[in-house]
Amino acid sequence: MKRASILMALALASAGLASAQNNPESQGSSSNAWNFKSKHTAVVDQTKGIYKDGKTASGINGGMRPEEQAEILSNMFEGQSADIRKIITPQASNSKASAASGPEAAGYLDLLSLSNLTGYSPKIQALQSRLNAQASGIPGAPSLKETGKLDYETLSYPRYVFRYDLAQMETRFNAERLAAGGAPPASSSLNNQGQVLARAESAVASFEQTAKAAQAPHEITASLLRSLSAKQKEASRWISEAALLQEKSSAIERQGAFSPALHALVLSAPVGDGVKRAYIERGNSFLSSLRELASEDGRAAQLLESKSWESSLPAVAQIESRNAALSASLSRYLPDYVRTPYLLDAASKQNPAPGLWDKISAWIFSAGSQTESASRQKTDQLTQAFKDIAAGNFEAAHVVLMVAAAHSEP
């Protein structure tokens, strides 16, 4: 579900209410930043990283080849985390989740209550048309008859959106719970997520039960629409909070990539000390952004949890808007930052600096030197990507990494 759309619509429906303020949740301090002189400084949140295949940050830090580590980290950023982002910001994806923003989100039933409840209304027909355009992206959603008249399927349509989003979040929640294996640091967060998801499930069920009254046309009254609107807002509230908590968990999870293993690989890269320092500073900036994202998601969730949550909606919408931009930037650049040192280390080990005998052999056996040249080219490309990232040229680094990956294909 597109939380920002839902919350903005809720805010519009609650126009004139004041904004509430809460203190942001602490997510660590600058004392946890990387130290250039220390090769074994852990830069991880107190909560260990949880990965798609059940491996934790401790598994990343040892016992695996660099290629495996890079693959795990790639899954971490592009697999599980991407799935939840599709739920939260579906407009960034071409998947079926892109339709999950629903019908004008919460508050649209308030507007319908002002329409012609028993006869034709152009507003209702326009809504039915819009819902039909979205229905193909939501499993089980019906094709509405665009009569311009209110009926049960039109009024109960939000249930399909709610059920779709709940299913996606419950899948993520169960996978995270399984991966955590009941580890104490993750238990509190997971328990909180579970409680909010249960509230969301109850609120959706209440909306569905109330909507059944509309199966009898004479029961479609302004009073019913107001009741449905209130229940839709409540369901949107808890689904939005659940999504915020999962996004917060994802941001904390991704902090686990800043491990002693990654730190050591940065310091062993075949570049100058100045470049290494710059690379580490880029990492500290990413780490700070992840902490900010987690803190702001937590603050927004607290606002939705409060009794005065409706008056807090404008503040929540602002947080969501800022977080969306921050999350998009992290999703674009952070994966390249994390895996480049692993890939460079693997390439360097496969193609160490040539000695005198290696040079003589390459001159005598020219055919073999072609393979060595390709391997050396890949190492040079990854080194360049490392330097680009250190300089903040993230787009240039991304292009270089794509070229290096293409050269690796058989």
pLDDT by residue (tens digit) across 287-308?
999 999 999 999 999 999 999 9
Can you tell me the mean pLDDT for 2-24? 38
Question: Which one, of 188, 117, 192, 114, lies nearest residue 154 by Cα?
Answer: 117
Average model confidence (pLDDT) across the chain: 73
Please, which residues have CB within 8 angstroms of residue 131's CB and are 6 or more apart in sequence?
Answer: 103, 141, 144, 154, 157
Q: How far apart are CA 408 and CA 97, in angstroms?
A: 33
The residue type of 151 is D
Q: At residue 385, does pLDDT exceed 70? A: yes
Mean pLDDT of 358-382: 63
The predicted model gives 207-232 an average pLDDT of 92
pLDDT at 58 over 50: no
Asked whether the predicted pLDDT for residue 134 surpasses 70, the reply is: yes
- Better pLDDT: 340 or 28: 340
With 70 as the cut, is the pLDDT of residue 135 above it?
A: yes
Cα(24)–Cα(315) distance, integer angstroms:
12
The count of other CB atoms within 10 Å of the CB of residue 181 is: 10
Contact by Cβ (8 Å): 81, 253 = yes
Q: What is the mean pLDDT of residues 118-124?
A: 83
The predicted-structure confidence for 309-358, as pLDDT tens digits, reads as follows 989 989 998 998 899 989 998 998 999 999 999 999 988 887 655 544 45
For 55-59, 167-171, 353-357, which range has the lowest pLDDT when averaged over its residues?
Answer: 55-59
Q: Sorting pLDDT into bands at 50, 70 and 90, what band is 141?
A: confident
Q: What is the mean pLDDT of residues 365-373?
A: 52
Domain boundaries defined on the chain: 3-346, 351-408
pLDDT-derived band at 120, boundaries 50, 70, 90: confident
The residue-averaged pLDDT of 164-189 equals: 80
Please tell me the distance from the alpha carbon of residue 383 to that of residue 350, in angstroms, as a whole number.
Answer: 14
pLDDT attached to residue 281: 96
Which one has a higher pLDDT value, 202 or 121? 202
Highest mean pLDDT, choosing among 137-141, 199-203, 406-410: 199-203
What phi, psi does 208 have (nearest 5°)? -60, -40
List pLDDT tens digits, range 85-117. Answer: 232 223 333 333 333 333 334 456 666 666 667
Of 324, 300, 301, nearest to 91 by C-alpha is: 324
pLDDT score of 150 more than 50: yes
- pLDDT at residue number 176: 84
Tell me what pLDDT residue 177 has.
82
Query: What does the chain come to in residues?
Result: 410
Residue 200 has pLDDT above 60, yes or no: yes
- Look at 79-88, 98-107, 159-168 and tell me which has the smallest mean pLDDT: 79-88
Are 252 and 47 within 8 A, CB to CB? yes
